[in-house]
A and B are shown apart, each in its own frame.
Chain A
Amino acid sequence: MSLRLEKVSMQFGGLVALRDLDLEIPEGVIISLIGPNGAGKTTVFNLITGVYRPTEGTIHYNGHRLNGLPPHKIIALGIARTFQNIRLFKNMTALENVQVGMHCRTQSGAIRALFKTRFERAEEQRIRKRAQEILQELGIDRYQDEYAGNLPYGEQRRLEIARALATDPKILLLDEPAAGMNPKETEDLMQLILSLRNKGLTIFLVEHDMKVVMGISDRIAVLDHGQKIAEGPPRAIQQDERVIEAYLGRRHTTTGSIS
């Protein structure tokens, strides 16, 4: 029941975005992927969810080979994700966004909808109820009938998680969920992620906020220029020479030069 990347490489034209990445994500943990801008973190997510097909290497999940599967099939296998730059269906309500997420776990097709069969009505009711529950669990049920585009920024990020959860995943990939959140919202987010993990979900997190990453991760992998330069528990990563040099070090110099 684990997600395994073996020698995965991704090339865009001449640009090597990812080189020979080996990564194993065991069940029920919070694993974080960090690295400077452009290191290839989002690319890893895009490869896992089938947006791109790796130029080399294989991705296995739970006995399935994911290479070349269309994204919706991968989602149906139990891998869900959110997006770095929020991609909600802005002109649908918050509730509808979550209902869309339940598509892959429900069945009624056009014929059943046209005849409003008993099955379809019962399923619609179930979809609605479950979607409301999810919104409630994430504490955004008061926005149920609000258009997603109208939600405050932090709540939009939560709604993205809600939509991903609606697909009933085993693994949740979160791409910078704390970006743009204030400290209070970030704190709530950490609690949320921990509670999801405690319910048995595996969390794969890409995040720039070190407080979040160091605070909740069981394991951390570090990417730099498309290559994994370190992997281990938070403590070890914080003290790793190469990480400090490649990641934290560089950041200090850039902030230094700005001020």
Chain B
Amino acid sequence: MVRREIQRFCIYTLFLTILVLPMVGMRGPEFEARRAFTVLSVLVGVLLLTTVFRLLRETSFYRNLGQRIRQRRDRALGKIQVLPRPVALGSLFFLLALFPFAANNYVIDVAITVLIYVTLGLGLNVVVGLAGLLDLGYIAFYAVGAYTYSLLNLHYGIPFWFALPFGVVIGSLCGCIIGYPTLKMRGDYLAIVTLGFGEIIRLVLNNWDNLTKGPNGLLGMDKPKLILPSFSDGGLSWTVVPLKSLPSLYFVILAVALLTVIAVHRLNNSRIGRAWIAIREDETAAELTGIPTTLLKLLAYALGAVFAAVAGAFFAAKLSYTNPNFFVFLESCVVLSIVVLGGMGSIPGIILGALALIAIPELFRELASYRMLAFGGAMTVMMVLKPEGFIPATRRKRELHEEELESEEAADE
């Protein structure tokens, strides 16, 4: 066991060295040794850590530790659950509502980004977590939402709230367009096709200069406006308030994120949600239980795309700017990581995942160039230690720990 792990470690290290040194080190004709070795040492460090963890996992110490932590956690959770659910939710909501008054603009800006990614994560969760379809090009729908609003607003002056339904329709159509050819595919093929679709959208946006102004992007869209009652001059009157300040945008996007949470929760516990989970569990058996699997998979793509398109429209409106480089493959990876790290199919998990993956990197701004590295590292460590994510959906946890559960049960008997 120990020998095998050490062997593996050596082989991987060698492999990484061969791969990383030339790829990272060569900048033009020169070899930047420092850069190359820093990256390599971090990678090897992560590798070493996971190896140590894997070895530790075999020892009885770790097993007991795991159990002790679980007991602690259960006890702590028990205490939290003493608070009745409405009270807990109410106070959480209160905190969220008061937050902008206690924070500066920078923090609010980060919070808005987190909320947008919560929406994206929950939308992708419909596709990946519920229906079990891999989608590596999800960010394309975000782009579709952003560009739909931008173009409608710039060319036709259509205000935000009227453009939003167009974004929803076009987003869901795109979801169907990508969904349709992939319906018969599974696994790797699906991954490649969705990845390709994401890139196609980005490249079209990048090269269709007449329409999208290419890499320069689109600038100067209106902010969303709200019609609010005001009590000036003693009487009640309605005024149109453009959402210019960050706190006001925060509230609107918070509302969007909350609506998404409610929507995904309702879908999850509906006839459609059950059918999706059945498809994820065993597609053939689902079809033979009377579920139109093709239609439902298409629906999952379309609905997932709708959430992304809405998030995209708000994103473009918030910045009054958009360009194709916001929608690179990396962004799809970030959203997928949020879903996977947070816990597929679990709403609180995804919220936590968005916080962890968006807010924490902001705290370590200076280290931005190592962000991907930290990502990869975190992902690897998570997959080794807790493949079901931070807050797993109970169902998901069962899937990934089936053998352990079975052996535990066998031990109980």
Contacts and interface: CB of A to CB of B under 8 A. Distances in A.
Interface stretch (B39-47, B79-87, B250-258, B288-296): B288-296
A75 B288 contact: yes
Contact of A103 (B275, B395, B398, B402): B275
Listed residue (A76, A83, A110, A113) with the most chain B CB atoms within 10 angstroms of its CB: A110
Interface string A39-51: 0000000000101
B273 to A, nearest CB: 7
A103 B291 contact: yes
Nearest to A49: B288
A129 to B, nearest CB: 14
A123 B271 CA distance: 9
B271 A106 contact: yes
B271 A124 contact: yes
B271 A113 contact: yes
Nearest to A109: B272
B267 A113 contact: yes
A87 interface: yes
Given A87-B285, A92-B395, A75 B290 contact: yes
Contacts of B176: none
A91 B281 contact: yes
B115 interface: no
Contact of A90 (B274, B281, B290): B281
B227 to A, nearest CB: 23
Contacts of A89: 277-278, 281-282, 285-286
Listed residue (B272, B288, B399) with the most chain A CB atoms within 10 angstroms of its CB: B288
B253 to A, nearest CB: 19
A127 B285 contact: no
A70 B291 CA distance: 10
Contacts of A163: 289
Interface string A53-95: 0000000000000000011100110001101000111111000
A128 to B, nearest CB: 11
Contact of A76 (B282, B284, B290): B290
A127 B275 CA distance: 13
A104 interface: yes
Nearest to A113: B270
Contacts of A224: none
A49 B266 CA distance: 32
Contacts of A70: 287, 292, 294
Contacts of B291: 72, 100, 103-104
B218 interface: no
B391 interface: no
B180 to A, nearest CB: 16
A169 to B, nearest CB: 9
Interface in A120-173: 120, 123-124, 127, 147, 149, 163-164, 167
A32 B388 CA distance: 45
B350 interface: no
B310 to A, nearest CB: 13
A110 B271 CA distance: 8
Q: How large is the interface on B (under 10, 10 to 19, 20 to 34, 35 or more residues)?
A: 20 to 34
B144 interface: no
A158 B263 CA distance: 35
A116 interface: yes
A37 B274 CA distance: 36
Interface string B230-263: 0000000000000000000000000000000001
A251 B195 CA distance: 54
A51 B289 contact: no
A96 interface: yes
Contacts of A92: 274, 277-278, 281, 395
A120 B272 CA distance: 11
Interface in A163-194: 163-164, 167
B275 A91 contact: no
B289 A101 contact: yes
B120 interface: no
B178 interface: no
Interface in B168-198: none
A210 interface: no
Given A90-B281, A113-B272, A100 B286 contact: yes
A223 B320 CA distance: 72
Contact of A91 (B293, B294, B395): B395
A207 to B, nearest CB: 19
A100 B266 contact: no
Contact of A108 (B271, B303, B399): B271
Nearest to B270: A113
B141 to A, nearest CB: 17
B388 to A, nearest CB: 12
A114 B267 contact: yes
A99 interface: yes
A167 to B, nearest CB: 5
B339 interface: no
A200 B344 CA distance: 44
Contact of A104 (B267, B285, B290): B290
A43 to B, nearest CB: 15
A51 B274 contact: no
A182 B399 CA distance: 29
B284 A72 contact: no
B305 interface: no
Interface string A199-228: 000000000000000000000000000000
A71 B271 contact: no
A91 B398 contact: yes
Listed residue (A51, A71, A104, A149) with the most chain B CB atoms within 10 angstroms of its CB: A71
For the complex of A and B, the 4 pairs showing the least CB-CB separation, nearest first, are A104-B290, A113-B270, A75-B290, A89-B281
Given A51-B288, A89-B278, A103-B289, 7 more contacts: A72-B288, A72-B290, A96-B274, A101-B289, A104-B290, A108-B270, A120-B270
Interface of A: 49, 51, 70-72, 75-76, 80-81, 83, 87-92, 96, 99-101, 103-104, 106, 108-110, 113-114, 116, 120, 123-124, 127, 147, 149, 163-164, 167
5 contacts: A87-B282, A89-B285, A91-B396, A96-B274, A123-B271
